[in-house]
Structure 1
Amino acid sequence: MSDFRLKVFNSVAQHLSFTKAAGELFITQPAVTKHIRELEQQYGTRLFERKGNAVFLTPAGELLKRYAGQILHLYQEAAFELSTLQSKHSGILRLGASTTIGQYLIAPLLAKYYEKFPQIELSLLNGNTEMIENAVLSHAIDLGVVEGKKHHSGIKYVDFMDDELVAVVHSNSKLAPLEEISIEQLTQIPLVLRERGSGTLEVIESALKEHNLKLSSLQIIMHLGGTESIKSFLEHANCMAFLSIRSIQKELITGQLKLIKVKDLVLLRKFWLIHLQGQPEAMAESFMRFAFREYSRK
């Protein structure tokens, strides 16, 4: 339904790379160049400029990028609604979600999906990011939602939504009077963190590298396998933890947990929808459209 040239343009505009766009769309780089050239001829203006190996959007390209996103989203909406009319949507959909997402994000989405498609039998596997990626690779699940990106060559990663990790302590902790600490102070504070293989730990490790620090530089007293376990541990220990802001909303409202700012430490991450490389199964693709549709409304 959608103009493929517009999809090609949007991919190049997002990545600022003809090569990455070709890889994402499973076409050749000359084909990408051809589609962009045809768009430029259609609109009578250049959309990209090249400076050496770098690619930049022109003012016209910036303008088209804004509209392309809106147009492609409308195409997606229309395709989803039409497929809903044409199909009974019955069968089994095997999903997997990493721990944080499974506990705090996916349940409301599954409830809405079941309400719209009660004929579909849903199953959900929970585990850390590494476990969910392995489940996709072994065909144990059709679609996963994870909080880390391991770059497995056999997996397609689709940007779903943003998240932030924050430093927290229990309000009764001796650390609670703190408002802001430096990176150097962080290395002196007892920490309880997620286990190896979790997307949360991966993000922390990556952020520390930007400050020439390793996990071994921190005073990690324990690794635990879930957010709820960490919350419970904090209640009984003078420790700090890094948790998803989405996972502690209730505790922040009730005052059980307190945020501590770590100066110059940015812990932003993506949540990803993952499936095997290539076109996802029809039911998995339908769920992806539904998920994007629901969260674009928020």
Structure 2
Amino acid sequence: MSDFRLKAFYSVAKNLSFTRAAKELFVSQPAITKHINELERQYSVRLFDRTGGKIMLTDAGRLMLEHCSRILDEYNRMEYDMNLLNERSSGHISIGASTTVAQYVLPQILAEFTERFPQIEVSLTNGNSRDIENALLNHDIDLGMVEGITHSAGLQYEPFLEDELVAIIKQSGNESMPEEITPQELCRQPLVIREQGSGTLEVIETELEKHGIRPQELNIRIRLGSTEAIKAFLRHSRSMGIVSVFSVREELARGVFRVIDIAGLNFSRHFCFVASAGKDSPLTEKFKDFTRRSIITSGYRV
């Protein structure tokens, strides 16, 4: 068991209220006060300043909060991992993922999941977001993982990871390209983009329309069916592509591509779990929970 005094301190620090902390932890307010006093005596510091009916963290309190957050997070992970040892789940789960998720987010998660649960058979199909939604509606898969911002009727969506689309060009031969361009200058750039039905394209078009730019105004050089195809094309072209930042982390680090900022535009989105309406199966819930925890451990924004 983790030290309950740390839970009491964490709750008070987050709520800045002994009363709310007591309600949150289902104990009396004097019990919360007792735990805080014990911590203050143990470390010979004041954790809170109490003035005018309000409380604030002291410098020592802020330092303890940093450590406490890490300790409680590690404790929760330990609880999760230890409980997994007693689980002997088996069965089959069929997952459909849009192209970006399938190529750049899922491989590590699937490797860890199948290692942890060897008795669970996992199958994965991929396509664009519209393909995955149709597969769910046709009951061909148990769970979808898609990009994009519009939702189909009859399906439930649950964000699990934040993504950003970035405009990229190859580094070599484009030294004169400025670090930032305007949306109007973007329209003059030869663009390589995804095909119709792609969640990536949907985000791009929606953001441009917010700024009065119609898709027809873009100078589209070619539409390609995958991000890998776009990246390969860009290595041999002075065109510009707009892709998920997850897909180009290695190339940006190696200096193969560089990002061009587009003033005032924000191509952001969430990757979402998507399922048919109704309660998920235990295996689907297990996979979703495992995915969330893997993402948090990796330090990604959720």
Q: Secondary structure of 2:132's partner? A: helix
Question: 1 CA distance for matches of 2:129 and 2:176?
Answer: 31
Do the aligned residues in 1 keep the contact of 2:169 with 2:258 (CA within 8 Å)? yes
Alpha-carbon distance, 1:83 to partner: 6.9
CA distance in 1, matches of 2:96, 2:80: 22
Shift of 1:194: 0.4
Deviation at 1:82, TM superposition (A): 8.4
Alignment of 1:127-138 (within 5 A): 127-138=127-138
Note the residue ranges of structure 2 that are not aligned, 5 or more in a row: 1-22, 27-72
CA separation of 1:181 and 1:149: change in aligned 2, threshold 3 A: closer
Over the aligned positions, Cα root-mean-square deviation in angstroms equals: 2.6
Please give the alpha-carbon distance, in whole angstroms, between the structure 1 residues aligned to 2:138 and 2:176. 45
The answer (yes or no) to whether the contact 2:149–2:269 under 8 Å persists in 1 is no
Q: Map Cα deviations across residues 170-220 of structure 1 (whole Å, 9 max, x no partner).
A: 112447632111111111111010001111000001101111111111101
Please tell me whether the aligned partners of residues 194 and 200 of structure 2 are also in contact (alpha carbons under 8 angstroms).
yes
SS of the equivalent of 1:249 reads helix
1:101-146 C-alpha deviation (Å, 9 max, x unpaired): 1111100000010111011111110111111111111111111111
Q: Is residue 258 from structure 1 mapped to residue 258 from structure 2 by the alignment? A: yes
Say how many residue pairs are matched: 231
Moved over 2 A (4+): 76-87, 172-178
SS at match of 2:112: helix
- For the 8 Å contact 1:97–1:145, the answer to whether it is kept is yes
Give the corresponding residue for 1:110. Answer: 110
In 2, the alpha carbon distance for the partners of 1:293 and 1:283 equals 15
Unaligned 5+ segments in structure 1 are 1-38, 43-72
Rg larger in structure: 2
TM-score normalised to the size of structure 2? Answer: 0.71
* d(CA) in 2 for partners of 1:135, 1:82: 35
% same residue: 40
Question: Is 2:160 aligned against 1:164?
Answer: no
2:148–2:199 CA contact under 8 A, matched in 1: yes
Instruction: State whether residues 94 and 123 of structure 2, in contact with CA within 8 Å, keep that contact through their aligned partners in structure 1.
Output: yes
Counterpart residue number, 1:234: 234
Alignment of 1:243-254 (within 5 A): 243-254=243-254
Conserved in 2, the CA contact under 8 Å of 1:208 and 1:215?
yes
Alignment-derived partner of residue 150 in structure 2: 150
- The structural deviation recorded for 1:85 is 5.3
Amino acid at match of 1:237: S
SS at match of 1:243: strand
Instruction: Compute the TM-score of the two structures, normalised by the length of structure 1.
Output: 0.71
Q: Distance in 2 between matches of 1:205 and 1:140?
A: 29
1:96 partner letter? G
- Paired residues of 1:170 and 1:257 also in contact (CA < 8 A): yes
Question: Contact between 2:160 and 2:270, CA under 8 Å: does it hold in 1?
Answer: yes
Question: Does the 8 Å contact 2:97/2:132 carry over to 1?
Answer: yes
CA distance in 1, matches of 2:111, 2:190: 39
Counterpart residue type for residue 127 of structure 1: G
Residues 122-131 or 170-179, more deviating: 170-179
